[in-house]
Each structure stands twice: as C-alpha cells, then as structure tokens.
Chain A
Amino acid sequence: MIWIDTLVQGVLLGGLYALFAVGLSIVFGIMRLVNLAHGDLIVVAAYLILVLVSLTGLSPFVAALLAAPAMAGAGWLLQRHVLNRTLGTDILPPLLVTFGLSIALQNALLEGFSADSQRLPAGPLATASLDLGAVTVGVLPLLTFASAIAVILALNWLFYRTELGRAFRATSDDAVTASLMGIRPATIFATATAIAMLVVTVAALYLGMRSNFDPNIGPARLIYAFEAVIIGGLGSLWGTLAGGIIIGVAQTVGAAINPEWQILAGHVAFLVVLLFRPRGLFPRAVD
C-alpha cells in the first residue's frame, strides 16, 4: 500500500517538474536556444508573486494572474533585445549570455530579498487532501499535476491548431525560409519566450506554495527541467510530462528507501534512460 502511495506522490511531483520543463522545451524547440537562466526566471517569478501577495494580501493564485503578463512582457523584451542577438551558427554566445543572466538574477535576488528562504502562503490548501480509498493525495499536488496537463493541452492546441502555432513550427523548421514567406523570426522568437514565461509563472506559483525557495535554487530547477525534456525526447510536450513523471517517481521511490537518496535517484533514472534511449522516449522523427 505504501508503494502505491509513493508511486502516486511521484507521479504528481512529476507534474511540477513538467511545469519547470515546458518553458525550457518551448524555447529550445522553436529557436534552439538553451536558456541556462530558466530556473532563475522561475525563482524571479516566485518572488514577483510573493511581493504581490505581501503588498496586496491577495491569494497567490490571483497574484500569479497579475504576475503572468509582467513576466511575459519581460520575456518578450529579453528575447527581442538581448537573446535574439546571441542566436546564430555559433552555439556558445547564447550559453554564455544566459549563464551570465543566471548569475546576475541570483545576485540581484540576494541583494533584494537576502538569502532567507521564503514560501508563498497557500492557506488551507497547503494541508488539504483527498481520500481516494487506497491512497490519500494532497489537493495542491493534484492541482499542480492538473495544471501541467492543462498547460500542455493548451500549448498543443496553440501549436497545431492556430495560425501563430503554424508560424512557430515553420520558423522552428527553417527560419530563413520562413522569413521569405513573410514571417519575422525575431518577433516569433520574442512571442515564444513570452509564452514560455507564462508557463514559468505557473511553475513558480506551485513551486512557491509547495516548497521553500531562496535566490539560489534556480540552477537545480534547471537541471530537473533539462532531465525531463531530454528523457521525453526533444520537441514532445507529452514526452516532457512523461520525463517529469519518471524523475518524480524515481525521487519519491528513492526517498522511500532512504531519504538521502531522493535527489540522486532522480539523476540515476535520467542516466538509465539515456543509456537505453539516447534520444529520449518520444523523439521527433527528424532533427
């Protein structure tokens, strides 16, 4: 019985990791940009929500709703005026610039908020749970998982059913040819980053309500996100969710055996998948 419980907790934790990873996946998939500051941007969004909550006393959910457009706007500007300039045949400039951004963000947050760990007040939601007979699940983890599924459904609809989505996919396929068709890759990239920042805000909301955060936890979230994206296979959002679930389950199972093994078990699962499926579980046909 305890194993079923562990499994369910792991799956639900996977939803959080998928939320971390989806933004990274969008940005990489559309413009081949590895954003090393992704984890720190999640932390920035968490602090933004925290500030809104403490200033206005609103619920974190409402605060996230306010933070989302601000994050999206910041993402748009960041991409349009900084990251677009780093894109090219050389893969090094975007890595260096986003790595620098990561350090700058961490230190700016340290300066502004100190190294104390913070938490978003979830109220009664923090301890609410549902009794499902065999297992009891927390409402918050359940909500996180449901949000991950909703985000992926919405993004798949956007990518495969709308004009903007087709422009995203066409630019991802071949930016030069797309520009000959009248698409502006610079604007498409900025829009993609803005959308990724919306997902980042959702991830930050649940991260902040479920666990403590401080200015330095960004890089570790980035690693989980990377592992989820790579396990799933680049370019597949459902694959990313599967990747998040695998890491989540590995971590809870590891923790059930020995609490010290939690983090390690997730990384080991990642290595095992890479060993047998170097291109991930659901790779895109060509890339």
Chain B
Amino acid sequence: MSILSLAGVSKSYGSLKVTDDVTFDLPEGQALGIIGPNGAGKSTLFNLITGNVLPDAGRIAFDGRDVTRTPPMRRCLAGIGRSFQIPQPFDRLTVFENLLVAATHGRGQGEAAVVRDCADILERCELSARANDPAGGLSLLGRKRLELARAMATRPRLLLLDEIAGGLTEGECTALIRTIRDVHAQGVTIIWIEHVLHALNSVVERLLVLDFGRVIGIGEPGEIMASQEVREIYLGIEI
C-alpha cells in the first residue's frame, strides 16, 4: 500500500517548469532520498506535497485519498510533517513550547494529552537540556534538531526532511543521522532531500533524482549512483 502517490504532477512559474510531470509511488514505511542539482525543483516538490504550492496539473494522493487541492493545515492533520531547509522555529517560544504547539494543533489534541510525548521526542532529539530556552538562541545543530523534533511532534506518518544535514560538522551530522534512523525505525515514512550524499545513503532505501523538474531516475541507491546520467549531473560533487 503506497502512502503517497504523485501522478503527472506539474508546476510552472511563467515559462519555467519547476516540476515537470513527476510520477512516483512511495510505499508506507520506506525512506526515499531525493537528490538533484540546485534549482532542480526539490523544495517545490515538497511544497506541492505539503500543499503550500498547488500544482498546475496532476494528482497527489496521501493514504489513498486525493489531497491535490487540500489546504496545508488539513494535510498536516492527515499526517504529513515537514522540516525546513532553513530552520524556522518559533523564536520567541521556548523549545518545549515549539513542540507543544506543533503537537496540540498538528494532532488536534489537548496539551495535557501530548506533554508526555513531547518530552519523549525532545529526549530522543537530544534537546531536553534546552527545553526551557527560547528557540531563537539555539545553535545550528540545535535548530535542525528542533525542526526534526517539531515535525515529529505532529506525529507524522510521512516526514519530509529538507536538507536537514546541510551546514553541520561531521560529528553533528552523525548525531543527527542517528536520530533520523531512530525515527525511521519506528515506522515513519520519510522523504529526505539532501546534498550530503553519504548521510542520505546511510538511511534511505530508495533514491529519486530530479533535474529541471523531471524525474530522471528512481531506484535502489547503489544502482542510481552508478548510472551514467546521474554521475554527469553530479559531476564535481563528491559521491
């Protein structure tokens, strides 16, 4: 049973096709990596899935239901969670409050029902020590972790990670991968856009390559990375 399926999804800004006839199915529980050069339309693809951008053509189905025109808030309640490439925590709320807000509204439950779970998520994302600090004061790793934690707090069935490993040191990256593997191990389906390929390949089971808005390859990571076309696109980027 696929949790997410896109069929012929296209989006243009003027004459620029940022998403061009994208079609793929994602089985529940799988981790899918998305790679592609800058401007390939990776973040737009996420915006289409979360509903922040509406497609010009094509259909998007989540959990068997058509969500092509469903507003972002409803998709969040249905179970699509997202972390941003540039972390966007609520700076003036504490770290814990960031999770509380996401959990209560993302699940439609009262605060009392989610407090426990939020504390667990903070613990798993190694943020417990900073729980009562304003989110605006976190380091980059802290902000990335908070992005992940906040997305987790909405209890997503599908988690979208947008370049969450970018800009981290080697050690920080390893710590973050550990957390992501942990989340994935609990059965959360993941789509992860990432330029840090070794981080990506240590988690995902399938890799999708985008270029100029088109899907130019999808399959098992080793296979994809070995293909000539992908190597050409990624020429100059360390694999």
Give chain A's interface residues, CB within 8 Å of chain B.
163, 166-167, 169-170, 172-174, 176-184, 284-286
Query: Are A173 and B92 neighbours in the complex by a CB distance under 8 Å?
Result: yes
Given contacts A181-B102, A183-B105, contact A174 B73 (CB under 8 A): no
Query: Are A182 and B84 neighbours in the complex by a CB distance under 8 Å?
Result: no
Query: Are B91 and A181 neighbours in the complex by a CB distance under 8 Å?
Result: no
B93 at the interface (CB under 8 A from A): yes
Bound CA–CA A204/B38 (angstroms) = 57
Query: Are A181 and B88 neighbours in the complex by a CB distance under 8 Å?
Result: no
Given contacts A174-B88, A286-B136, contact A181 B150 (CB under 8 A): yes
5 CB < 8 A contacts A-B = A169-B93, A172-B92, A178-B105, A180-B50, A184-B73
Given contacts A173-B90, A181-B154, contact A166 B101 (CB under 8 A): yes
Query: Are B73 and A183 neighbours in the complex by a CB distance under 8 Å?
Result: yes
Bound CA–CA A167/B98 (angstroms) = 10
Bound CA–CA A182/B114 (angstroms) = 15
Query: Are A178 and B101 neighbours in the complex by a CB distance under 8 Å?
Result: yes
B111 at the interface (CB under 8 A from A): yes
Chain B contributes a number of interface residues (CB within 8 A of A) equal to 28
Given contacts A183-B73, A183-B105, contact A173 B154 (CB under 8 A): no
Bound CA–CA A176/B84 (angstroms) = 12
Q: Residues of A contacting B55 with CB < 8 Å?
A: none
**In the complex, number of A-B residue pairs with CB atoms less than 8 Å apart:** 70
Of A172, A173, A182, which one neighbours B105 at CB under 8 angstroms? Answer: A182
Query: Are A181 and B52 neighbours in the complex by a CB distance under 8 Å?
Result: no
Query: Are B106 and A182 neighbours in the complex by a CB distance under 8 Å?
Result: yes
Bound CA–CA A146/B97 (angstroms) = 31
Query: Are A166 and B97 neighbours in the complex by a CB distance under 8 Å?
Result: yes
Query: Are B107 and A173 neighbours in the complex by a CB distance under 8 Å?
Result: no
Of A170, A174, A180, A183, which one neighbours B82 at CB under 8 angstroms? Answer: A180
CB nearest to A235 among chain B residues: B92
B4 at the interface (CB under 8 A from A): no
Query: Are B88 and A177 neighbours in the complex by a CB distance under 8 Å?
Result: yes
Given contacts A174-B88, A284-B92, contact A181 B76 (CB under 8 A): yes
Given contacts A169-B90, A173-B90, A173-B91, contact A183 B101 (CB under 8 A): yes
Q: Across chains A and B, which 7 residue pairs bring their CB atoms closest together, nearest first?
A: A182-B105, A173-B90, A182-B106, A181-B102, A170-B101, A182-B76, A170-B90
Query: Are B108 and A182 neighbours in the complex by a CB distance under 8 Å?
Result: yes
B224 at the interface (CB under 8 A from A): no
The smallest C-beta distance from B177 to any residue of chain A, in angstroms, reads 24
CB nearest to A176 among chain B residues: B52
Given contacts A178-B101, A286-B91, contact A163 B73 (CB under 8 A): no
Bound CA–CA A286/B110 (angstroms) = 30
B104 at the interface (CB under 8 A from A): yes
Q: Residues of A contacting B77 with CB < 8 Å?
A: 182
Residues of B53-98 whose CB lies within 8 A of A:
72-73, 76-77, 82, 84, 88, 90-93, 97-98
Given contacts A178-B101, A180-B50, contact A166 B91 (CB under 8 A): no
Q: Residues of B contacting A176 with CB < 8 Å?
A: 52
Bound CA–CA A184/B92 (angstroms) = 19
CB nearest to B100 among chain A residues: A166
Q: Residues of B contacting A166 with CB < 8 Å?
A: 93, 97, 100-101, 104
CB nearest to B150 among chain A residues: A181
Query: Are A181 and B92 neighbours in the complex by a CB distance under 8 Å?
Result: no
Q: Given A167-B105, A182-B102, A286-B92, 14 more contacts at CB 8 Å?
A: A163-B104, A166-B93, A170-B90, A176-B52, A177-B88, A178-B101, A179-B72, A180-B73, A180-B76, A180-B82, A181-B101, A182-B76, A182-B77, A183-B105
